[in-house]
Structure 1
Amino acid sequence: MQALTRFWARFEEAFIAFLLAAMTLVTFVYVVLNNVYTLFYTLGDKWEFTSGFFFAIGDTLMGLAQEMTWSVALTKALFGWLIFFGIAYGVRTAGHLGVDAVVKLTPRPVQRVLAMIACLCCLAYAGVFMIASYSWVKTLFVAGIAAEDLDQFGIELGHIAIIVPIGFAMVLIRYLEIMWRIVTHRQTGLGLADEAAEASKLANDIEEQR
Structure 2
Amino acid sequence: MRRYVDAGVLIQLVAGVLIGAVLAFLLGKSLIGGLLMFLGFAVALPVVYLLDRGPLWQRIEEGVLTFIFAAMTLVTFLQVILRYVFNSGFVWALEFTTYCFAWLVLFGVSYVFKRQAHIGVDAFAKLFRMPVQRVLGLVVVAFCLLYAGIMLYGSWDYVYKIWRIGIPSEDLPIPQWVPVSILIVGMALLAVRLLEAGHAIARGEALSLLGDEAREAIQDFAAAEVDPDAMATPEETRAGIPHPPGPHDAPPRSGRI
Q: TM-score, normalised by structure 2?
A: 0.61
- Give the 3 Å change call, closer, same or farther, for CA 193–130 of structure 1 in structure 2: farther
* Counterpart contact for 2:119–2:210, Cα < 8 Å: no
Q: 2:64 aligns with which of 3, 10, 15?
A: 15
1:108 counterpart letter in structure 2: M
Q: What's the % identity of the aligned pairs?
A: 36
Supply the distance in 2 between the matched residues of 1:143 and 1:32 (Cα, whole angstroms): 37
Aligned to 1:176: 195
Structure 1 residue 71 corresponds to structure 2 residue 90: no
Q: 2:166 aligns with which of 144, 149, 172?
A: 144
Supply the distance in 2 between the matched residues of 1:173 and 1:184 (Cα, whole angstroms): 17
1:115 counterpart letter in structure 2: G
Equivalence map 1:22-41=2 (5 Å): 22-37=71-86
Deviation (angstroms), 1:191: 2.7
- Give the 3 Å change call, closer, same or farther, for CA 193–86 of structure 1 in structure 2: farther
Equivalence map 1:52-201=2 (5 Å): 62=87, 64-65=88-89, 68-150=90-172, 153=173, 155-192=174-211, 197=214
- Give the 3 Å change call, closer, same or farther, for CA 124–175 of structure 1 in structure 2: same
- Which structure shows the higher helix fraction? 1
Tell me which of the two structures has the higher relative contact order, counting C-alpha pairs closer than 8 angstroms and 6 or more residues apart: 1
Supply the distance in 2 between the matched residues of 1:130 and 1:6 (Cα, whole angstroms): 25
Deviation track 1:86-136 (CA, whole Å, cap 9, x = no partner) reads 111011011211111111121101101100100100111101110111011
Q: TM-score, normalised by structure 1?
A: 0.74
1:100 counterpart letter in structure 2: D
Which sections of structure 1, spanning at least 5 residues, go unmatched?
38-61, 202-210
Supply the distance in 2 between the matched residues of 1:127 and 1:111 (Cα, whole angstroms): 24
Deviation track 1:177-200 (CA, whole Å, cap 9, x = no partner) reads 111111111111113476xx59x9
Which sections of structure 2, spanning at least 5 residues, go unmatched?
1-7, 9-53, 219-257
How many residue pairs were aligned?
166
* Counterpart contact for 1:146–1:157, Cα < 8 Å: yes
| Over 3 Å off, 4+ runs | none
* Counterpart contact for 2:201–2:207, Cα < 8 Å: yes
* Counterpart contact for 1:98–1:192, Cα < 8 Å: no
Supply the distance in 2 between the matched residues of 1:193 and 1:170 (Cα, whole angstroms): 23
